[in-house]
Structure 1
Amino acid sequence: MPVKLICASHTPMMDYIHPPAAVEAEARGTFATLAEEVRAYDPELVVVFAPDHFNGFFYDLMPPFCVGLRAACAGDWSIGEGPLTVPEATALALVKAVQAQDIDIAYSYRMQADHGFTQPLEFLCGDVARYPVIPIFVNGAAKPLPPCRRAVALGTAVGRFLGGLGERVLILGSGGLSHDPPTPQMGSVPPEVEEFLIAGRNPTPEARQRRQENVLRTGRLLAEGKGQSLPLNADWDRGLLARFAAADMEALAALTDEDILAQGGRGGQEIRAWIAAFAAMNAIGPYRATTRYYHPIDEWIAGMAMVSADPVGTSATLAA
C-alpha cells in the first residue's frame, strides 16, 4: 500500500518569539517543502499521533492512548478552528482492530485536539480539515505515563490495520524532541492548579492567556541562558533521530521516563508520539528515513526536527 511518514516537532511559540532570522527561515522553509510534498502525494487518509498539553485531556479521566472518532480543535494558541474531518467508520474500525491485537485503547466522540495535533495539520496539510484524519492521542504529559514499549505496541497495531486499507496513507508524529516547558504536575502544585489539571477544559480567554504568557516567558529566559528549564540537548536529539532512522524499535521501547526526563526534559516525554508513528510505519514494512531539518531553538523551547520516511524502494522524499 502507498504510505508516507512525517514526524515533526511542534511549538506554539513560532508566531510569538523569533530566533535568528536564518534559523527561522530554514525551519519554516522545510515545513513549506514538506507541505508541497504532501500536496503532491494527496493522501486519502492522515493518521496523526500527538500528545496533549492539558488542553483537551485532563486527570478527571486520563487514558494512555485515545482515538478520536469525532474531534474538533481545542483552540489553544489560536491554532486551528472547527472540526477535524474524521472518517468515523474507519476510525471505529481502527479501534476494533487495535483492540483485537490486545491493545486496550480509549476512544472519544468529542475529542478536543490541541496544538500538538493542529499545528502539524496546518503546517503540513494546509488546514486541519483539508484531508480525512484520524487523531490518536498519546499521553506525554500526565504522570503516570504509558511505557515506551506500549507506544511501540500501539503503533504496531495501528500500522497493521493501515496496511490492509489499500489507501494512500500519511502517518504524522508530533512532539519533542528535547523540550522542557513549564508543565505542572499533580502532587507538586497548589490545590487550585491541581483542580485545573483535573478539569480545566474550556478555560476563559484570560486564563488561557496567562498560561501562554508563562510559556513565552520561559522561552525568552531559555534564549538568554536563564530560567529553570533544562537546556535543549542536541546530542540526545541526534541519538533519537539515529534510532528512528535505523528502525531500532527495541532501543526505543527500552527508554524510561527517568532517562527521557533527565536528557530531554519534561516535554521530551512527547517522543512517545514519534515512537508510535515510526512503529506504525515499521509494521507496514521496511522504510528509509531522512532527517529534513534539525536545530535546537531555545526561543521555541524545542529541539526542532522534521523527518520523512518512505517504504524501501521508493523516493527518499514525499513527492508522488
Structure 2
Amino acid sequence: MTLVYAGCASHAPGITGRADQADPEVRDEFYAAYDDMRQAIEASGAEAMIVLAAEHFANFFMDNMPSFAIGMADFYDGPIEDPAWLGIDRFRAPGDRDLSQRLITRVMQTVDVAYAEEWKLDHGIAVPLHFLTPRFDLTIIPANINCQGPPLAPLHRAWAFGQALRRAADSVPENIALVGTGGISHWPATPDSGKINEAWDCEFLDRWQRNDRESLLGYDDMSVYAEAGQGGFEIRTFVAISGAASGATGTVHFYAPIPIFAVGCTVASYDLGQGAVPSSV
C-alpha cells in the first residue's frame, strides 16, 4: 500500500490573508492542528502529496471546465493572487511530471480526467501548502474537482474519483499522501461572506468521520446551496477523500467557525490502517 496518508483541511484565503483579525486563541489552535497534519504527513514517509482542491476560475474557466483534472508538470508557481492580499509570498512548488503521468494513466482506467502541463496555484492549494510543506521540500501534484461552474459532477463521481486516486497511488512505488481541501459551509464573494452554518458543518463532518457512503452521497446541490452556500459545493473534495479511504473511520482534529476567515475551519484525517482498498482495475 503506497497511499500513506489521507485527510482534509480548509483553504479559504482569509486563513492567511486576515490572520491578524481572527481571535488569536482559536486561530492558533487551528494553525496548530494544521501543523500536526504536517507532522503526520512527514511521519507517514510520504514522498509526494496530491492536493485535491476546488479551483477558483484561475486556470479553468467556462470555455474549458473539466470535472476532474490533475497537474502533470515538474513545478507549479503560486500564488496566482496578490501575495500581499493572500499573505503568502511567491513560491515555486516542486512537481514530478513522470509520477503525475503514471498516476493519471492509472486514474484514466476508470475515471475520465483532464491533465494540465501548466498550472498556477491559487489559494485553494497555496494555503494548504503554506502550512503542510513550508519548505517546499515535498513533491506536489495538484488535482481539481469542478466545484464552481454547473453542471457539477455528481457526488458519486467525486467518490469514484477518490477511489481511482487510491488505486493509482497504490500502483506506484512512491509513498503518496492525499489531502482534500475546500470549505464546508461558506458564502465566498457574496454579501453573506462570513456566514457559517455550524450545525450543517457538524452533521457533514459526522458523516465524513463515519465514512458513511450512503449519507455522504445523499446530499443534493439545491439543499447544499440553501444550507451551506455555493462554497458548500466543495464538499466534493471531502467526499473524494472518503472514497479513497473507503471503509476507514476518520477523526476531526479541529473544527471551528471563524467568520473572519469566512469558513468553517477544519482539519481531519482517516486511519488508513482500517478499511478495504478499492478493487484494482
- Could you tell me which amino acid in structure 2 is paired with residue 117 of structure 1? I
Q: Aligned-pair RMSD on alpha carbons?
A: 2.0
* Aligned residue pair count: 266
Which entry has the higher C-alpha Rg, 1 or 2? 1
1:99 aligns with 2:108: yes
Deviation of 1:236 (Å)? 1.1
- Equivalent runs, 1:1-80 vs 2, <5 Å: 1-2=1-2, 3-14=4-15, 15-16=17-18, 18-70=21-73, 71-78=76-83, 79=88
Instruction: List gaps (5 residues or longer) in structure 1.
Output: 184-226, 315-320
1:176 aligns with 2:137: no
Identical aligned residues as a percent: 30
Stretch of structure 1 that moved more, 298-307 or 239-248: 239-248
TM-score by length of 2: 0.87
User: What residue is the counterpart of 2:245 in the other structure?
Assistant: 281
User: What residue is the counterpart of 1:84 in the other structure?
Assistant: 93
- Equivalent runs, 1:270-309 vs 2, <5 Å: 270-282=234-246, 286-309=247-270
CA 56–152 in structure 1, closer or farther in 2 if over 3 Å, else same: same
Tell me how far apart the structure 2 counterparts of residues 40 and 246 of structure 1 sit (CA, whole Å). Answer: 24
Alignment counterpart, residue 240 of structure 1, candidates 204, 229, 251? 204
- Could you tell me which amino acid in structure 1 is paired with residue 22 of structure 2? P
Q: Tell me the secondary structure at the aligned position of residue 111 of structure 1.
A: coil
- Could you tell me which amino acid in structure 1 is paired with residue 13 of structure 2? P
Deviation of 1:80 (Å)? 5.5
Instruction: List gaps (5 residues or longer) in structure 2.
Output: 276-281
Tell me how far apart the structure 2 counterparts of residues 137 and 228 of structure 1 sit (CA, whole Å). Answer: 25
Tell me how far apart the structure 2 counterparts of residues 68 and 250 of structure 1 sit (CA, whole Å). Answer: 30
TM-score by length of 1: 0.77
Alignment counterpart, residue 115 of structure 1, candidates 109, 114, 123? 123
Tell me how far apart the structure 2 counterparts of residues 34 and 173 of structure 1 sit (CA, whole Å). Answer: 12
Deviation of 1:229 (Å)? 4.2
- Could you tell me which amino acid in structure 2 is paired with residue 13 of structure 1? G
Q: Tell me the secondary structure at the aligned position of residue 245 of structure 2.
A: helix
